[in-house]
C-alpha cells in the first residue's frame, strides 16, 4: 500500500500545521480574555497612579465626580473652576491596553451645569460625550474597551465646549501598552492650560470668565496644573541625580499650543503627541497640541533647579506658565562646571587697538582724552576709553534693572542717574553709593526718594569703571574715577 502522504506531502502538512498554530496564537493575543475587575486608582497632578503590573486585561471601574469649586488661580486671585475630581487638571486615569473601562460620571448636586466627558482614548462616537451627559445630582455609566495604547486628553464636551474647557474641565488618561512602559524612577503629571479672566494677570479677587478674551485667544493666565505656582517652591517636582524621570504632559488648551521646554535638560526620549512609539530622541523643545499630549523621558546627571516653561516666553514670564524640578545629588563637574571665572572683557576692538599700539614704534599712544594715570597696585591701569567700556558692562549687569537703560530711573521708585544733580554734586559720595548701596530719603532733581539700593559687592575696578561711566553718560559730564580713588574711599 502506498503511504498516505509522500515525504514532500508530509513536510507541507507539518508546515501548514505550524501556520495554523501560529495564526491561532495571534488571534488569541488580539482578543485577550478580560479577567476580574478592579477600581481605578485616580491621582491629582502632579502625581500619577502606579504602573500596571497585570499581564491580562480586566474590567476597570472609574468613579469620577464633577464639581464646580472656587479655588486659587494665583496669589489673591480665585476662579470658579469646573473640575473632574475637585482640582484642575482632572484626576489622572491609568489603564492597560485591552481593559474594559466602566465609567461612572457623577455630577455633584451643587453643580449649576450639565456636564459630560469626551475621552480621546475612547473608540466610539463623541468619545463618550453623548453617553455621559449628566445633570447635576445624577450619575451616568458607560463602558468602553481601550483598544489603542497612548496618553490621551479627556475633557468636558458639553456646549459651549470651549467654556467648559476654559473653566478647567480636562485631564489625562494613560493607556499602557500590553508590554507596559519601561520602568523609571519618577513619573509626574503636568498639564498646561489657559484662563481667560475679566481682570488682568494678578488682579485680585474672584475673577469671572471673559468670552471676548477667549475668542481672541488672549488669556490672562497660562499655567501648569491649574494655577500659578503649582510647581514652585515647596510644590516643585523632585528627583535625584542618576534618576530617570518620565513626564506625562498634556495641553488642555482651550486654545494655545505649548512649546514645552525644560531648561537645562534634554528629553532623551519623546513619544510625540503621546503615541505609543518613541518617535524622537534628544529633543530640546517639544510641541504639544491643544487637546494633545506628550510622554517625555530623561535621565538627570547634574543636580540643581530645572525650569519647566512654555517657550512662547511671555507666557512663562508674564502669564504664570513656569514650574521647577529640583534635583538633588552629587555634583558632576565634568558634565557641568558651574561658573569657572568672571573677568573683565573690554571688547574685541579694544584688544585689537591694544595690540596695534604695542606693535607701534615709539611706545604707548594714550587713547581717549582723559587718561587715568597711575600705578594701580598690580591691576592693569585703565584709560578713559576702557573705563567707559567696562563701566557700560558693569552698568548693564548691575544697575540697569533699577536705573533703566538710559539712566532715567522709574518715577517714585528708582531715582534717575541721567542729569542727576545728586550724583554729579559729590564724586566721593557716588563712589560710596556704588560700594555700599544707599538707604533713607534722598532728593534727586527736586524729587524725594525713600527706598533702598542694595550693596552690590563690586570690585574696586568695577566701581571705578561704573562711576566713571554714569558720570559721563546719559547727558552727564564729569571727570573719571580711578581705582586709586576708590581704594582711598574704601580705606576711609
Question: Of 64, 101, 466, 483, which lies in the binding site for ligand HEC, with binding defined by CB under 6 A?
Answer: 466
Q: At 212, which helix (H) or strand (E)? A: helix 211-215
Q: Does 115 bind Cu ion (CB under 5 A)?
A: yes
Using CB under 6 A as the binding rule, the residues of this chain from 435 to 464 that contact ligand HEC are 438-440, 442, 444, 449-454, 456
119 binds, among Cu ion, ligand HEC, none (CB under 5 to 8 A by kind): none
C-alpha cell at 252: 488642555
Contact 95, 174 (CB under 8 A): yes
Q: Least Å distance between CB 53 and Cu ion?
A: 34
Q: Does 405 bind ligand HEC (CB under 6 A)?
A: no
Note the maximum CA span of the chain.
Answer: 128
- Residue 16: which residues within 8 A CB-CB, separation 6 or more? none
Burial 36-72 (b: 16+ CB within 10 A, else e): eeeebebebbbebbebbebeebbebbbbbbbbbbeee
Q: Does 155 bind Cu ion (CB under 5 A)?
A: no
Nearer to ligand HEC, 241 or 438 (CB): 438
Residues in a beta bridge with 248:
189, 295
Nearest of 263, 279, 383, 270 to residue 327 by alpha carbon: 263
Q: Does 62 bind Cu ion (CB under 5 A)?
A: no
Q: Least Å distance between CB 159 and Cu ion?
A: 9
Contact 386, 345 (CB under 8 A): no
Q: Least Å distance between CB 137 and Cu ion?
A: 15
Question: Of 79, 154, 188, 414, which lies in the binding site for ligand HEC, with binding defined by CB under 6 A?
Answer: 414
- Render 301-360 in DSSP notation, one character per residue: -S-EEEEEEESSHHHHHHS--EEEEEEES---TTT------------HHHHHHHHHHHHS
Using CB under 5 A as the binding rule, the residues of this chain from 156 to 175 that contact Cu ion are 156, 158, 164, 169
Please tell me the count of residues contacting Cu ion according to CB under 5 A.
Answer: 5
Nearer to Cu ion, 110 or 475 (CB): 110
Torsions phi, psi for 275 (to 5 deg): -70, 180
115 binds, among Cu ion, ligand HEC, none (CB under 5 to 8 A by kind): Cu ion
468 binds, among ligand HEC, Cu ion, none (CB under 5 to 8 A by kind): none
Question: Of 83, 133, 430, 461, which lies in the binding site for ligand HEC, with binding defined by CB under 6 A?
Answer: 430
CA–CA distance from 153 to each of 99, 165, 198, 317, 408 (Å)? 18, 11, 27, 26, 50
Question: Of 52, 316, 325, 470, which lies in the binding site for ligand HEC, with binding defined by CB under 6 A?
Answer: 470
Question: Of 175, 296, 416, 485, which lies in the binding site for ligand HEC, with binding defined by CB under 6 A?
Answer: 416
491 binds, among ligand HEC, Cu ion, none (CB under 5 to 8 A by kind): none
Using CB under 5 A as the binding rule, the residues of this chain from 1 to 60 that contact Cu ion are none
Q: Does 417 bind ligand HEC (CB under 6 A)?
A: yes
**Residue range at the interface with ligand HEC (CB under 6 A); choices 4-12, 301-309, 410-418, 477-485:** 410-418
Question: What is the contact mask toward ligand HEC in residues 284 to 313, using x (rule: CB under 6 A)?
Answer: ------------------------------
Please tell me the count of residues contacting ligand HEC according to CB under 6 A.
Answer: 29
Q: Does 401 bind ligand HEC (CB under 6 A)?
A: yes
Nearest of 223, 191, 184, 192 to residue 207 by alpha carbon: 223
Contact 433, 373 (CB under 8 A): no
Nearer to Cu ion, 84 or 267 (CB): 84
Nearer to ligand HEC, 258 or 461 (CB): 461
228 binds, among Cu ion, ligand HEC, none (CB under 5 to 8 A by kind): none
CA–CA distance from 393 to each of 25, 146, 297, 400, 470 (Å)? 72, 60, 40, 10, 11
Nearest of 489, 380, 405 to residue 481 by alpha carbon: 489
Contact 40, 29 (CB under 8 A): no
Residues in a beta bridge with 253:
193
Instruction: Give the footprint of Cu ion on this chain (CB under 5 A).
Output: 115, 156, 158, 164, 169
Chain residues in the site for ligand HEC (CB under 6 A): 398-399, 401-403, 414-417, 420, 422-423, 430, 433-434, 438-440, 442, 444, 449-454, 456, 466, 470
Amino acid at each position: 500500500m502506498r503511504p498516505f502522504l509522500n515525504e514532500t506531502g508530509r513536510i507541507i502538512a507539518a508546515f501548514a500545521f505550524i501556520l495554523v498554530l501560529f495564526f491561532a496564537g495571534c488571534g488569541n493575543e488580539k482578543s485577550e480574555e478580560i479577567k476580574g475587575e478592579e477600581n481605578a486608582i485616580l491621582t491629582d497632578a502632579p502625581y500619577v497612579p502606579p504602573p500596571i503590573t497585570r499581564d491580562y486585561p480586566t474590567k476597570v471601574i472609574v468613579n469620577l465626580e464633577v464639581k464646580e469649586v472656587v479655588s486659587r488661580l494665583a496669589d489673591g486671585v480665585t476662579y470658579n473652576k469646573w473640575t473632574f475630581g475637585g482640582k484642575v487638571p482632572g484626576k489622572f486615569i491609568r489603564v492597560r491596553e485591552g481593559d474594559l473601562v466602566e465609567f461612572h460620571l457623577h455630577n455633584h448636586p451643587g453643580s449649576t451645569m450639565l456636564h459630560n466627558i469626551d475621552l480621546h482614548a475612547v473608540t466610539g462616537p463623541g468619545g463618550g460625550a453623548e453617553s455621559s451627559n449628566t445633570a447635576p445630582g445624577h450619575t451616568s455609566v458607560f463602558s468602553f474597551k481601550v483598544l489603542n495604547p497612548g496618553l490621551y486628553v479627556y475633557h468636558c464636551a458639553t456646549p459651549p465646549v470651549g467654556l467648559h474647557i476654559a473653566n478647567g474641565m480636562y485631564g489625562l488618561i494613560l493607556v499602557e501598552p500590553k508590554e507596559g512602559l519601561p520602568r523609571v524612577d519618577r513619573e509626574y503629571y503636568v498639564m498646561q492650560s489657559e484662563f481667560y479672566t475679566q481682570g488682568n494677570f494678578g488682579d485680585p479677587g474672584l475673577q469671572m470668565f471673559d468670552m471676548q478674551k477667549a475668542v481672541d485667544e488672549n488669556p490672562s493666565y497660562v499655567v501648569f496644573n491649574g494655577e500659578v505656582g503649582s510647581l514652585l517652591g515647596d510644590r516643585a517636582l523632585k528627583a535625584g541625580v542618576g534618576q530617570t524621570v518620565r513626564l506625562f504632559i498634556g495641553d488642555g488648551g482651550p486654545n494655545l499650543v505649548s512649546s514645552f521646554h525644560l531648561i537645562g535638560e534634554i528629553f532623551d526620549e519623546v513619544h510625540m503627541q503621546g503615541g505609543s512609539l518613541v518617535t524622537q530622541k534628544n529633543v530640546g523643545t517639544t510641541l504639544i497640541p491643544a487637546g494633545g499630549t506628550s510622554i517625555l523621558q530623561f535621565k538627570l546627571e547634574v543636580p540643581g533647579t530645572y525650569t519647566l516653561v512654555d517657550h512662547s516666553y511671555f507666557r512663562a514670564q508674564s502669564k504664570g506658565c513656569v514650574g521647577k524640578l529640583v534635583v538633588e545629588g552629587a555634583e558632576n563637574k565634568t558634565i557641568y562646571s558651574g561658573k569657572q571665572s568672571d573677568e573683565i572683557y573690554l571688547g574685541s576692538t579694544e584688544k585689537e587697538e591694544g595690540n596695534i599700539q604695542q606693535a607701534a614704534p615709539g611706545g604707548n599712544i594714550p587713547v581717549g582724552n582723559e587718561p587715568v594715570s597711575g600705578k594701580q597696585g598690580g591691576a592693569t591701569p585703565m584709560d578713559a576709553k576702557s573705563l567707559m567700556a567696562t563701566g557700560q558692562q558693569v552698568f548693564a549687569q548691575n544697575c540697569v534693572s533699577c536705573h533703566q537703560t538710559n539712566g532715567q530711573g522709574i518715577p517714585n521708585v528708582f531715582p534717575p542717574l541721567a542729569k542727576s544733580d545728586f550724583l554729579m554734586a559729590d564724586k566721593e559720595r557716588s563712589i560710596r553709593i556704588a560700594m555700599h548701596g544707599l538707604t533713607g530719603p534722598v532728593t534727586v532733581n527736586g524729587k524725594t526718594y525713600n527706598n533702598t539700593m542694595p550693596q552690590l559687592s563690586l570690585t574696586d575696578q568695577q566701581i571705578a569703571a561704573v562711576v566713571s561711566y554714569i558720570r559721563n553718560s546719559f547727558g552727564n559730564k564729569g571727570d573719571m574715577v580711578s581705582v586709586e580713588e576708590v581704594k582711598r574711599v574704601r580705606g576711609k
